[in-house]
A and B are shown apart, each in its own frame.
Chain A
Amino acid sequence: MTTLDKATETLRSLATFAEAANLADIAAEVGIPKPTLYRVLKDLTARGMVQQDDTGAYALGSRTFDLARRSLRSFGVSDEVRGIMVELAQSVDLSVHLSGFRGGQLVYLDNVEVESLFLTRSMIGTLRPLYASATGRCVLANLDEVTARQILESSDRTQLTPRTVTDIEEIIGGLGQIRETGYAINDEEDELASVSVATHFAGPDGAPLGGISIVAPSYEYTAQDLVDRAPQLVAAGKRISATFAAV
């Protein structure tokens, strides 16, 4: 492990603690000796990546959040794209999510929520699993097979719900149909209680840049209900792709 690896692991660990954590707890979580961890935390604190409260406990610092904001911003989601999302959400009366694909990873970038009793905590900014999300599989379907396979092989493919498909061949096998129809369905494969349909959008060269999905509570909507809304979704995806072509 390099010093940078240790620093990143320390930041990851701090993100998982509900409140500020003390040195011993972080050391136990990251699995590095306390003196080494102390030096790493000292460096990170000096740069504002980590902050210490009055009791000496550590938490992520404002610089980490600041860099996070700039990282999200660099995806450059335009008002035009947000407008297309709003129109789609209003026409299907369901929430719409947008994710960006970059560096082989899928990042949840934005949502338009419609009023519903179904409360979801906004997790904008998080990495989404490509293998277990409808958007991820739409992106995979529009990459060359070698790249798609590489991404699947390097992902952990955790069984997130009883319905998660983790077998690479099975996932690859389903991509042809996604390419053909333009959409993918996710029926409680990444989280229970949620069903979604997604499509991808692409840059002028055809390379996938991300995807949008219609997300609904699975106690109210079936996968077929969402398939019925796929034409509007696919049309919205094409309009988003067109905004990149215009630039």
Chain B
Amino acid sequence: MTAIDKALDVLDYLSMNGAPESLGNLVEATALPKPTVRRLLIGLIENGLVVQDQQKKYTLGNELSDLAARASARLSVAEVGRSAVGELRDHVVGTITLFSFSAQGLLPVLQLEDTASAYFTAPRAGAQLQQTAAGKAILAEMYRPAVDHFLGTSAAQDDTLHEELALVRERGYAVENEESQPGVRAVAAAIRSFTERPIGAIAVTVPVRVTSLPELIRMAPRVVDAAQSVSTSFGGGQDQERRGDR
């Protein structure tokens, strides 16, 4: 085992339950001698990879998020998502749209039309978030106060919408059934970053007369996988471990 392996073992253990750990627990978990663990922790603290709190317990350090933030500032959803969207093209019908998301709203950054189909649809520009599949996928990833902030008071009090968002969260994808434009259906999944915020979405949009609702929903796992693979590049976690606090 190398010095790096031992240090990363300590980080692995600290990452497991998120709560600060005592020296004793770390010694037990790593099965390393106490002086070794102590020395490892000193090195990890010096490098900002571990911090010690006021109760003398250890937790994951601040350098980690600084690294991730600076690295991901250089990544764009459009560039990172390109290959995932390209791969998705082989598995679904309809128009595939990759969106980035910021305070300014949803922005389509890449669109692949279904050249095999005579009918062509696309997400409606300027639609409200709660009307589109991509918008709902994004809203479902947000903290409740942020949802209320984005939608304003009227939508914030819409219990049906919040129930639907809870369902989207549970399933991992959102469905739109002629809500933003007649004759159009869509399924979408959100892209998350290590900050646990939505930074984009992938949507598949189809004409109602070509693709039935069950057919659309059968494509959902592919869309979820594609979005997850982009999320992974930005450090977004898997569904199961997210939002445990909800």
Q: Which residues of A contact B (CB under 8 A)?
A: 2-5, 7-8, 11-12, 14-19, 39-40, 43-44, 47, 49, 59-60, 62, 64-74, 78-79, 82-83, 85-86, 89-90, 102-103, 105, 107-108, 112-116, 119, 121-127, 207
Contacts and interface: CB of A to CB of B under 8 A. Distances in A.
A110 to B, nearest CB: 8
B7 to A, nearest CB: 5
B4 A73 contact: no
B18 A44 contact: no
B155 to A, nearest CB: 14
Contact of A43 (B4, B46, B60, B234): B4
B235 interface: yes
Given A2-B3, A43-B2, A70-B60, A124 B69 contact: yes
Contacts of B68: 15, 60, 64-65, 68-69, 125
Contact of A79 (B7, B8, B143): B143
B196 A72 contact: yes
B116 interface: no
Contacts of B5: 43, 47
Interface string B1-40: 0111101100100010011100000000000000000001
Nearest to B2: A43
12 contacts: A4-B43, A43-B4, A62-B233, A65-B234, A69-B194, A72-B65, A72-B195, A90-B149, A102-B62, A112-B146, A124-B65, A126-B66
B8 A82 contact: no
A12 B143 contact: no
Nearest to A68: B68
A82 B145 contact: yes
A115 B104 contact: yes
B74 interface: yes
B49 interface: yes
Given A4-B4, A89-B149, A14 B71 contact: yes
